[in-house]
């Protein structure tokens, strides 16, 4: 998964500006694939245009800033599809929280406790984010995607959302049920390296 693919994926669903793509890839369901910044999206779109996988039309509506709206071409669709047919790679999961958890004894019960709360907060935010993506037409694969099929596409997107929701909820459940145990471990073993003075 790279910025290229995410651009094609978003454009597969409907025409977009670079700004849109960045927003969708950061806030929408597509944030499960990559989070791209402007610095990578704009150059990627230019390259994609050179290669004929997307086209671009300038739109200068009055009362709006000028924008460049990109559309995917047939070649682009084919290129994207052929990527999807390849066996997919394993999910990537990275957690700073778990690193702190492992070093519970070192950081002590207070730090662990606030880390757990922070982690639960993050998870709840994610829950909100996942449920809300798809609420507005802007965030989903609606738009120009062959009219009669949008309902099934929405169902697929919904399925993916539910998968995300289910996994995040599981993590919250574990944290709520067993967070206390970790704080207890930290309490029993805390032996110094007290950095409270350096906390800010």
Partner DNA sequence: AGGAGCATGTAAGCTGTTACATGATTTC
Partner DNA sequence: GAAATCATGTAACAGCTTACATGCTCCT
Does 14 bind DNA (CB under 7 A)? Our answer is no
167 binds, among DNA, a second copy, none (CB under 5 to 8 A by kind): a second copy
From the list DNA, a second copy, none, pick the one residue 27 interacts with, judged by a Cβ distance below 5 to 8 Å according to partner type: none
Smallest gap from Cβ 114 to a second copy, in A, equals: 8
Cβ–Cβ under 8 Å, residues 144 and 12:
no
Closest CB 60 distance from DNA, rounded Å: 10
Name the nearest CA neighbour of 156 among 12, 8, 5.
12
Q: Is 63 in the site for DNA (CB under 7 A)?
A: yes
Which residues, in sequence order, are CB contacts of 117 under 8 Å at separation 6+? none
Q: Which is nearer to DNA, 47 or 105 (CB)?
A: 47
Residue 48 contact among a second copy, DNA, none, beta carbon within 5 to 8 Å by kind: none
Q: What are phi and psi of 27, to 5 degrees?
A: -110, -25
By CB under 7 A, tell whether 17 contacts DNA.
yes
| Phi and psi torsions of 56, nearest 5° | -135, 135
Q: Does 111 bind DNA (CB under 7 A)?
A: no
Residue 69 — φ and ψ, nearest 5°?
-100, 125
Shortest reach from residue 177's CB to a second copy, in Å: 9
143 scored as a contact of DNA (CB under 7 A): no
Q: How far is Cα 174 from Cα 118, in angstroms, rounded to an integer?
A: 14
């Amino acid at each position: 998964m790279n910025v290229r693919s995410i651009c094609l994926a978003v454009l597969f669903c409907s025409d977009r500006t670079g700004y849109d793509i960045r927003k969708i890839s950061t806030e929408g369901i597509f944030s499960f694939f990559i989070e791209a910044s402007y610095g990578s999206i704009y150059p990627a779109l230019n390259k994609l245009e050179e290669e004929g996988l997307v086209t671009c039309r300038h739109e200068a509506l009055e009362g709006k800033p000028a924008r460049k709206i990109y559309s995917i071409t047939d070649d682009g669709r084919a290129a994207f599809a052929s990527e999807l047919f390849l066996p997919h790679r394993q999910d990537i999961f990275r957690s700073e929280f778990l690193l702190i958890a492992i070093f519970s004894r070192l950081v002590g019960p207070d730090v662990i406790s606030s880390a757990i709360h922070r982690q639960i907060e993050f998870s709840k935010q994610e829950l909100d984010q996942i449920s809300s993506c798809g609420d507005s037409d802007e965030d989903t694969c609606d738009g120009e995607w062959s009219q009669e099929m949008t309902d099934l596409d929405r169902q697929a997107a919904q399925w993916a959302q539910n998968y995300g929701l289910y996994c995040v909820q599981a993590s919250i459940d574990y944290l709520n049920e067993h967070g206390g145990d970790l704080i207890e471990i930290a309490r029993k073993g805390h032996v110094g390296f007290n950095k409270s003075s350096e906390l800010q």
